[in-house]
Structure 1
Amino acid sequence: MDYKEFSESELNKLIPIQNDFKAEFKLDDFAHWFYDADVEILRLYNDDNDEVFFKYIPIGTFSLTSKTWMWSWFNNYLSEKNKIETLKIKKFGEENNYEKLTNGTFPSDEYDGWEFLAISFEILKGIGTYKINLENLEYYVLIPEQVYADGNSEVKKMKQKKLECGNHGYRRPAFVCQHLDPETKRGFIESFEATPDMDLEDEEYFEAWCDDCEKIRVKYNGWNEESEKFANIKMVCENCYFEMKALNNS
């Protein structure tokens, strides 16, 4: 069987399974999503009383800018340890001479992504699939099982290290002075040059303050009781942080 016949066959098999999966968990009813690469858990939710958790395996990504697909086993930026499972797909491709399953990255489209999910579902097994829509990227994941919040140490770990933002859902916390907001330019000085989605070391956070705070910091030779009192640092989510940064750099 050539690749086109095989991929279409697997996609046709996945469609009714995926429809049942979506219906069972009412996936279309959830307004928000969040995933944690450290514990490999996807959370779909409306609020703390209306949520569902799944284990996930990252299959690959489709770039909306470069129009290319990248398999997870080839992607050095993905930190999920279970991405090694996708090497089984590569091995299957090598055994059957399916080039799209063996090349790490190549020109593609979003339709390929669903075919790759269907093939992954057949090889790795699971209960469903999901596509996470990022800003310039579509992230395709396989769902092997549901997990439950009660008594689950991984879910607890995920929630403890994240801040729930009313606008952006669960995100990493960041710290800014009391004067910074998403609407007014006041300068944006960082403790280090930060970029969205960058990896942070333990106990390392995004931190920024305005021009007036910088003047006070210099006046008092750094951060101390007086300069910190003026800054009155507040906690925001990382998305809010980078919105403020973008505003002040525009």
Structure 2
Amino acid sequence: MDFLTVLYSAPLLLSLFKAALPYAVATTAAFGQWFASVPPCRDVSFEATSFLVCEVDPKLYSIELFWKDPAGKPFQSLHNLDNAQRMAGRTMLFAINAGMYHPDLRPVGLYVERGQEMAGVKTGSGSGNFSLQPNGIFYMSRGKAVVRATKDFVRQRPATDYATQSGPMLVIDGQLHPKFQADGTSRKSRDGVGVRKDGVAVFAISNGTVTFHAFARLFRDALGCDNALFLDGTISSLLAPAIGRNDDYWNLGPMIGVFRKRGG
């Protein structure tokens, strides 16, 4: 290309660049918005079962519990919760169902939201997974995530910003729940939460079916959690639109939502 060709082509190139610039800016902005909504989740394979695992450092992310909307009506689904957060101008990175509940969607055991206790601790006997002792409580206290067996929680009764009780415990101080059997045959979709020694909360949901024993070993042996709690079974759900995860079970009770902190 000679000098005159370059000279006469320059205005055309400049014009094309100016025309393309808004699209480039819009694309960059859209990518930035998408990237900001990507959750800290990854696929994990453990003993031929696939899991989605989300590792949440409370220093970088806000972990909150939700049950009812401002009008006092249960959110009922992760999608409803996500829509409500969007309307409030918040970007929820992911949400997961957060424990067991009655047919009217009331939490079965302890439930604390924004420091307000909305359902009390349940320590009596009963049937089902919730009452397979020891059960436990996942809670947030002064920016720290904790999983603790219910009896230990009640003994010390720490101040909590958020708390949900469920059961059974999967891992207690590095030991598997004593009633789990390695040859157990009950396989279901399951989700749960554990906390590592560094304070990171680890949420996991199976993409297929898994036994309690294998699910507990996932938390202890693969995810490094000395304490972990089962949250729910057959209707285990996780919503993370940025990575294409859009579980849509309805009539859910308590839910956990995770948000990126400013500067996180």
Same fold (TM over 0.5): no
TM-score range, shorter chain: under 0.3
Q: TM-score when scaled to structure 2?
A: 0.23
Higher RCO, 1 vs 2 (CA within 8 Å, ≥6 residues apart): 2
From the two aligned structures, give the one with the greater helix fraction. Answer: 1
Structure with greater Cα Rg: 2
